[in-house]
């Protein structure tokens, strides 16, 4: 059964159509990557799914329920979490607080003003566990805004996965990281999305082919292919879309360097 | 009836155009720097006081020129040494800074000129009725105010659309970084715009001082109304500011001139209440009474139903 | 946990003992004003400091709470209702809450400029309406009541200032504790998160609007309590208590004290009450000084007085605070002379008559000699002040640097030179 379904989704900003008639189905437990050249609409697609923008037409179903008219927080409560391409954290709160805030709703604290967070053993233990997972334990008391870039990316990921959402959307999780940082981040992503459904936008083909069970190629707002990695690699339309670039397992190599 | 309408319209026009002189500067400053300048009306007050003091020595006409320039200089200094410093702490800090500045200017005015009303009068040469209609005089000075405001509006329009500096300003409003990359000195443009906006407010003060009286509370009286106008008109929209200025000016003028009120409405509906009814105050309300709160009512309604203002393109 | 409890116990003891040390009626009246200001300023901080909502109309909730509290006092007086005066602040709080629930339902949609403008508009609207709706607000004269009619509370009828102080202090203690605890609840923590990044908060399941609404309602409630305390203390409320100037004053308090810290507004409330009641005895120009203080704070201490004190945490943890003692002394001496000289000139320009005694020195406002003397003193002090600044700056950066092991440091400085 598919966990997330996009049915003929389109999105225009004024005259400009960014997403054109995209249909997509992502199964429970799948690791799905969305690739495509810059400006293909990958981030817009994420923003549509997560409720940041409304769709111009079409339906989005999550667990069989339409979510394209819901607000971001309503979608998040259904168990769909996301991270952002541009780091989007709570800069003045401590690292610990950032993660704990990510946990509050999923642990059913809602808007309560009668519980003291410091007294909630399960909440704090879970926060510690997430901090341990993302490797920011020794940074727990730093204001998040003062972390190094790679640490902020890890925190970004941590906030997204803290709630234990069934489906996680990651928007270029390793963008701007050094090779070794990216390697650690991928290992981390693997670990924390174990048994979850993952949708990821990523430019680094080695990571995409390493992590993904299925790949969707988006070009100019249209899906030109959606298949298992082996078939995507051999797809001539994909090759063409990457303008002479040869898609290999090790990454994209430009032939006209 | 018709004479009431005509004079209310003329008075509303005078007020509206005066408000626009303030609102235009405030709008320009906001569009360029993202700062809603709380102290804008304080520069208007400074204009009136400067002009009063200068006119004691030189008479009205030189003061009309010198006072706005002085106010503009004060504004430029405030931008250069105050606002620019606060800028790095964010927009809220900037807003709070201008708020503090408004407070400080009011106190400073009381320090230098005292608490009482200044005897600042319109020049004798304009002290005659321009025309008399239905036995009511329309003073020449008010016509002069309309003339100055309209000239400023035309001048501003010309500068912004036809001159090089105006085009740079328009570009800097939307793309400050690009303009800086083209080699224009954006901080200097900011300072100049802030100074010019303040000078414009000062000019409004110079011409309004004799009519609306020059006293330490004059900034507070107009300050929040001007704020209301730029928000209603749509932050950053000059056209919106013009429409909203005239709207508020006319609305208040008509409300004050009319004799209508709840009693008339109740009579019309054939309803009456005992004079000891708990809501008696409401049943006796008249339009002139609620004239001062109309702008704020309008502001709240606009913000609830159309947060970007009547002509605004962007929110906050 | 224990350390925090001790802070609260010390706080309570200070509140209890204070009027036993400073027993004059004047000082007790100042303490009462302080307690009211503290509750009000803390409630304001729930908006701006904790929730990121810049309000220019917070006095509305203070004032409305206060007005209803006075009406409750009148009802007790007329025997239409029988309850203890000790509960009056709660009446104010509940009315503040109701007003905030109503206004917050549409004003908390956005933070930032839109929120600030709605708060300004509502503030002006209600202040202007209060002059029109005479039967509730009493017009220009306001409404007044008498706090001594209610049933005595353990034999106290609150005729004495000290009794009112203890009532206000008790309410302030409870309110402060509640506001502190609120910051430690899920709603309170999310208020900070929404302040920092409303968008991200939506993606972790929270409606930024709802979070703001809760903070807003709470702030209205506690502002109403402060208004109720004001009503009990002064027994009169006028339009001045809910107008824009009042709203500005609470912004001033919270900002000068320091927005980012829970105790910031407490510091601000204490300092401003002192300035208000002490300075106004010495000079008619105290508002001018307050304006200067505010503008300088925004420019140079964006985190307020508390922020300035907190800047010393790093040197303190490094054990280097004593490095600052001498430079601070050296800078503050000419600094004090400079300030006093400046104030002397400001005051002298407003002195009436030919005699002006300042700090025991007789000066002549009409004579050039006195002006030249003050100018010279102030000028020299300014010059000396500037000379001491580099040393202070060096000491500050030294006090904030982690000292490395000698060989390490030598290597690094060698590498740099």
CB contacts of C251 in chain B (<8 Å) are 96, 99
CB-nearest to B101 from C48, C136, C295 is: C295
What is the residue range of A34's domain? 2-254
Average pLDDT over residues A171-199: 89
Band (B137; pLDDT cuts 50, 70, 90): confident
Among A43, A84, A113, the strongest candidate for a mutation testing the C interface, having the largest count of C CBs within 10 A, is A113
Among A46, A53, A90, the strongest candidate for a mutation testing the C interface, having the largest count of C CBs within 10 A, is A90
CB contact (8 A) between residue B100 and residue C287 = no
Is the model's pLDDT at A113 over the cut of 80?
Answer: yes
Strands A197-201 and A222-227 come out as unpaired
C313 touches chain A (CB under 8 A): no
Band (C413; pLDDT cuts 50, 70, 90): very low
Average pLDDT over residues C67-71: 96
Percentage helix, strand, coil for chain C under 3-state DSSP, each rounded to 5: 75, 5, 20
- C60/chain B closest Cα distance in angstroms: 14
Using a 10 angstrom Cβ sphere, with 0-12 exposed, 13-18 middle and 19 or more buried, the burial of residue B115 is exposed
Interface partners of chain A (CB pairs < 8 Å, 3 or more) are C
B304 touches chain C (CB under 8 A): yes
The reported pLDDT for the residue numbered C415 is 35
Band (B223; pLDDT cuts 50, 70, 90): confident
Scanning every residue of chain B, which has its alpha carbon at the shortest distance from the alpha carbon of C106? B304
CB contacts of C181 in chain A (<8 Å) are 116
Q: Does residue A196 contact residue A168 with C-beta atoms inside 8 Å?
A: yes
Question: Minimal CA–CA distance to C95: which of C221, C217, C186?
Answer: C221
CB contacts of C298 in chain B (<8 Å) are 86, 93, 96-97, 100
CATH number of the domain encompassing residue B105? 1.10.3470
Q: What percent of chain C has pLDDT over 90?
A: 60
Is the model's pLDDT at A244 over the cut of 70?
Answer: no
In a domain, B311, yes or no: no
Scanning every residue of chain C, which has its alpha carbon at the shortest distance from the alpha carbon of B227? C117
In a domain, B314, yes or no: no
Average pLDDT over residues C166-182: 97
Band (C369; pLDDT cuts 50, 70, 90): confident
Scanning every residue of chain B, which has its alpha carbon at the shortest distance from the alpha carbon of C53? B92
Give the integer Cα–Cα distance in Å for B128 and B144: 12
CATH number of the domain encompassing residue A126? 3.40.50.300
Using a 10 angstrom Cβ sphere, with 0-12 exposed, 13-18 middle and 19 or more buried, the burial of residue C264 is buried
CB contacts of C186 in chain A (<8 Å) are 104, 109-113, 115, 117
CB contacts of C135 in chain B (<8 Å) are 278, 280-281
Question: Minimal CA–CA distance to C230: which of C351, C129, C114, C147?
Answer: C147
Give the integer Cα–Cα distance in Å for C269 and C263: 10
Residues whose CB is less than 8 angstroms from the CB of residue B191 and which lie 6 or more positions away in sequence, other chains included: B76, B79, B80, B84
Average pLDDT over residues C130-148: 89
Domain spanning C2-309: CATH 1.10.3470: yes
DSSP character string of A184-253: HHHHHHHHHTTTSEEEEE-S-HHHHHHH-SEEEEEETTEEEEEE-HHHHHH-HHHHHHTTTEEEETTEEE
- B205/chain C closest Cα distance in angstroms: 22
CA trace torsion B76, B78, B84, B85 (10° rounding): 150
CB contact (8 A) between residue C204 and residue A71 = no
Among C295, C307, C351, the strongest candidate for a mutation testing the B interface, having the largest count of B CBs within 10 A, is C295
**HSE-CB for A12 with a 13 A CA cutoff:** 8
In a domain, B313, yes or no: no
DSSP character string of B197-262: HHHHHHHHHHHHHHHH-B-TTHHHHHHHHHHHHHHHH-TT-HHHHHHHHHHHHHHHHHHHH---BH
**HSE-CB for C267 with a 13 A CA cutoff:** 18
Lowest mean pLDDT among B115-119, B183-187, C268-272: B183-187
CB contacts of C294 in chain B (<8 Å) are 100, 103-104
CB contacts of C195 in chain A (<8 Å) are 92
The reported pLDDT for the residue numbered B303 is 81
CB-nearest to B304 from C106, C294, C346 is: C106
What element of type H or E holds C362?
strand C361-363
Query: pLDDT tens digits, residue range A118-151?
Result: 999 999 999 999 999 898 999 999 999 999 998 9
User: Across chain C, what does the average pLDDT equal?
Assistant: 90
CB contact (8 A) between residue B289 and residue C295 = no
What element of type H or E holds C237?
strand C236-237
Backbone CA torsion sign across B66, B68, B74, B77:
negative
Query: pLDDT tens digits, residue range B74-133?
Result: 999 999 999 989 988 888 888 889 999 999 999 999 999 988 888 888 887 777 777 777
Which residue is associated with the tokens 């298992």? A228
- Taking CB atoms and an 8 Å cut-off, how many pairs form between chains A and C? 98
Scanning every residue of chain C, which has its alpha carbon at the shortest distance from the alpha carbon of B102? C291
Q: Does residue A159 contact residue A105 with C-beta atoms inside 8 Å?
A: no
CB-nearest to A115 from C186, C197, C206 is: C186
CB-nearest to C185 from A100, A106, A112 is: A112
Give the integer Cα–Cα distance in Å for A45 and A171: 10
Among B99, B244, B314, the strongest candidate for a mutation testing the C interface, having the largest count of C CBs within 10 A, is B99
Is the model's pLDDT at B209 over the cut of 60?
Answer: yes
CB contact (8 A) between residue C244 and residue B224 = yes
- Can you point out the beta strands (E) in chain B? 129-133, 136-139
Map residue C144 onto helix, strand or coil: strand
Both tokens assigned to C252 = 């001033």
Band (A253; pLDDT cuts 50, 70, 90): very low
The reported pLDDT for the residue numbered A103 is 95
Strands C143-144 and C236-237 come out as antiparallel
The domain tally of chain A equals 1
The reported pLDDT for the residue numbered A248 is 53
Give the integer Cα–Cα distance in Å for C388 and C407: 32
**HSE-CB for A56 with a 13 A CA cutoff:** 15
Band (C408; pLDDT cuts 50, 70, 90): very low
- A180/chain C closest Cα distance in angstroms: 28
The complex scores an ipTM of 0.91
The reported pLDDT for the residue numbered C282 is 83
Beta bridge partners of A169: A82, A199
DSSP character string of chain A: -EEEEEEEEEEEETTEEEEEEEEEEEETT-EEEEE-STTSSHHHHHHHHTTSS--SEEEEEETTEE-TTS-HHHHHHTTEEE--SS----TTSBHHHHHHHHHHTTTT-TT-SSS-GGG-HHHHHHHHHHHHHHT-GGGTTSBGGGS-HHHHHHHHHHHHHHT--SEEEEESTTTT--HHHHHHHHHHHHHHTTTSEEEEE-S-HHHHHHH-SEEEEEETTEEEEEE-HHHHHH-HHHHHHTTTEEEETTEEEES--
CB contact (8 A) between residue C189 and residue A117 = yes
Map residue B131 onto helix, strand or coil: strand
For chain C, the structural domain boundaries read: 2-309, 313-416
B292 touches chain C (CB under 8 A): yes
Backbone angles phi, psi at C179, to 5 degrees: -65, -35
**B286: which DSSP letter?**
B
Is the model's pLDDT at A254 over the cut of 70?
Answer: no
Average pLDDT over residues C281-310: 89
CB-nearest to A114 from C185, C190, C197 is: C185
CB contact (8 A) between residue C205 and residue A116 = no
Q: What percent of chain A has pLDDT over 70?
A: 94
Is the model's pLDDT at C410 over the cut of 70?
Answer: no
For residues C239 and A252, the model is more confident at C239
Average pLDDT over residues B186-202: 90
Band (C409; pLDDT cuts 50, 70, 90): very low
Q: Does residue B36 contact residue C113 with C-beta atoms inside 8 Å?
A: yes
Average pLDDT over residues B25-32: 86
Scanning every residue of chain C, which has its alpha carbon at the shortest distance from the alpha carbon of A161? C204
Interface partners of chain C (CB pairs < 8 Å, 3 or more) are A, B
């Amino acid at each position: 059964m598919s966990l997330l379904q996009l049915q003929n989704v389109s999105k225009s900003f004024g005259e400009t159509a960014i997403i054109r008639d995209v249909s997509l189905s992502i199964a429970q437990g799948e690791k799905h990557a969305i690739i495509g050249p810059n400006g293909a609409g990958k981030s817009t697609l994420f923003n549509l799914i997560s409720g940041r923008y409304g769709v111009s037409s079409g339906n989005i179903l999550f667990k069989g329920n339409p979510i394209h008219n819901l607000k971001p927080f309503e979608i998040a409560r259904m168990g769909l979490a996301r991270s952002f391409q541009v780091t989007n954290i709570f800069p003045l709160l401590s690292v610990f607080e950032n993660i704990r805030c990510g946990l509050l709703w999923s642990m059913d604290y809602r808007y309560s003003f009668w519980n003291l967070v410091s007294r909630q053993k399960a909440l704090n233990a879970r926060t510690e566990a997430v901090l341990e997972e993302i490797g920011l334990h020794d940074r727990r008391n730093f204001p998040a805004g003062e972390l190094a870039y790679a640490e902020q990316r890890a925190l970004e990921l941590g906030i997204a996965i803290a709630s234990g959402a069934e489906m996680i959307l990651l928007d270029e999780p390793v963008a701007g990281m050094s090779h070794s940082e990216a390697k650690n981040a991928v290992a981390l992503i693997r670990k924390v999305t174990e048994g979850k459904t993952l949708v990821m936008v990523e430019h680094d083909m080695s990571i995409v082919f390493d992590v993904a069970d299925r790949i969707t190629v988006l070009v100019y707002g249209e899906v030109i292919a959606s298949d298992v990695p082996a078939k995507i690699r051999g797809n001539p339309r994909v090759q063409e879309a990457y303008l002479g670039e040869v898609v290999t397992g090790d990454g994209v190599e430009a032939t006209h360097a | 009836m018709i004479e009431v309408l005509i004079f209310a319209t003329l008075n509303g026009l005078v007020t509206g155009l005066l408000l626009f002189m303030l609102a235009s500067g405030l709008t320009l400053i906001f569009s360029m720097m993202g700062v809603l300048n709380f102290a804008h009306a304080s520069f208007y007050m400074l204009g009136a006081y400067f002009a009063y003091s200068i006119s004691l020595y030189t008479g009205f006409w030189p003061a009309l020129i010198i006072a706005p320039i002085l106010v503009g200089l004060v504004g430029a200094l405030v931008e250069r040494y105050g606002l620019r410093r606060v800028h790095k702490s964010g927009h809220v800090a900037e807003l709070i800074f201008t708020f503090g500045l408004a407070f400080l200017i009011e106190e400073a005015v009381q320090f230098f000129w005292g608490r009482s009303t200044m005897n600042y009068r319109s020049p004798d040469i304009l002290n005659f009725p321009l025309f008399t209609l239905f036995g009511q005089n329309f003073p020449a000075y008010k016509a002069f105010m309309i003339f100055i405001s309209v000239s400023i509006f035309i001048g501003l329009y010309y500068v912004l659309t036809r001159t090089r500096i105006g085009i740079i300003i328009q570009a800097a409003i939307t793309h400050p970084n690009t303009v800086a990359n083209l080699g224009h000195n954006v901080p200097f443009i900011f300072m100049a715009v802030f100074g010019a906006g303040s000078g414009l407010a000062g000019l409004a003060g110079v011409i309004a001082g004799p009519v609306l009286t020059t006293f330490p509370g004059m900034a507070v009286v107009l300050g929040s109304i001007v704020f209301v106008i730029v928000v209603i008109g749509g932050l950053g929209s000059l056209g919106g500011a013009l429409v909203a200025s005239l709207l508020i000016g006319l609305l208040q003028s008509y409300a004050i001139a009319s004799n209508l009120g709840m009693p008339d409405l109740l009579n019309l509906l054939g309803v009456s209440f005992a004079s000891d009814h708990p809501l008696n105050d409401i049943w006796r309300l008249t339009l002139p009474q609620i004239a001062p709160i109309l702008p704020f009512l309008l502001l709240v309604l606009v913000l609830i139903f159309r947060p970007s203002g009547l002509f605004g393109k962007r929110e906050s | 946990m224990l350390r925090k409890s001790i802070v609260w116990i010390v706080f309570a003891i200070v509140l209890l003992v204070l009027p036993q040390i400073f027993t004059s009626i004047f000082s007790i009246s100042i303490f009462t004003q302080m307690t009211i200001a503290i509750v009000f300023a803390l409630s304001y901080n729930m908006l701006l400091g904790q929730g990121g909502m810049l309000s220019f109309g917070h006095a509305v909730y203070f004032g409305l709470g206060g007005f209803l509290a006075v009406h409750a006092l009148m009802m007790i007086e007329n025997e239409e209702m029988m309850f203890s005066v000790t509960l009056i602040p709660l009446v104010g709080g509940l009315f503040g809450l109701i007003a905030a629930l109503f206004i917050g339902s549409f004003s908390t949609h956005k933070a930032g400029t839109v929120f600030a403008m709605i708060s300004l508009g509502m503030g002006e609207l209600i202040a202007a309406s209060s002059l029109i709706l005479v039967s509730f607000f009493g017009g220009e004269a306001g409404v007044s009541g008498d706090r001594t009619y209610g049933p005595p509370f353990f034999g106290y009828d609150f005729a004495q200032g000290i009794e009112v102080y203890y009532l206000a202090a008790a309410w302030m203690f409870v309110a402060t504790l509640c506001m502190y605890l609120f910051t430690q609840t899920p709603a309170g923590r999310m208020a900070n998160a929404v302040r920092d990044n409303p968008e991200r908060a939506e993606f972790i399941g929270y409606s930024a609007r709802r979070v703001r609404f809760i903070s807003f309602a709470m702030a209205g409630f506690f502002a109403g309590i402060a208004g109720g305390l004001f009503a009990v203390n002064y027994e009169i409320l006028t339009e001045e208590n809910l107008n824009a100037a009042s709203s500005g004053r609470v912004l001033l308090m919270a900002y000068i004290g320091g927005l980012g810290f829970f105790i910031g507004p407490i510091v601000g409330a204490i300092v401003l009450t002192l300035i208000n009641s002490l300075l106004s005895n010495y000079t008619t120009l105290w508002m001018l000084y307050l304006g200067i203080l505010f503008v300088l704070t925004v420019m140079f201490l964006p985190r307020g007085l508390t922020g300035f004190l907190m800047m010393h945490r790093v040197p303190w943890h490094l054990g280097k605070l004593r490095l600052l003692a001498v430079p601070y002394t050296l800078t503050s001496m000419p600094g004090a002379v400079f300030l006093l000289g400046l104030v002397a000139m400001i005051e002298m320009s407003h002195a009436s008559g030919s005699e002006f005694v300042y700090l025991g020195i007789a000066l002549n406002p009409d004579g050039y000699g006195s002006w030249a003397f003050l100018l010279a003193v102030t000028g020299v002090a300014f010059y000396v002040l500037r000379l001491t600044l580099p040393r202070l700056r060096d000491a500050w950066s030294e006090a904030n640097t982690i000292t490395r092991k000698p060989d390490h440091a030598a290597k690094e400085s060698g590498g740099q030179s």
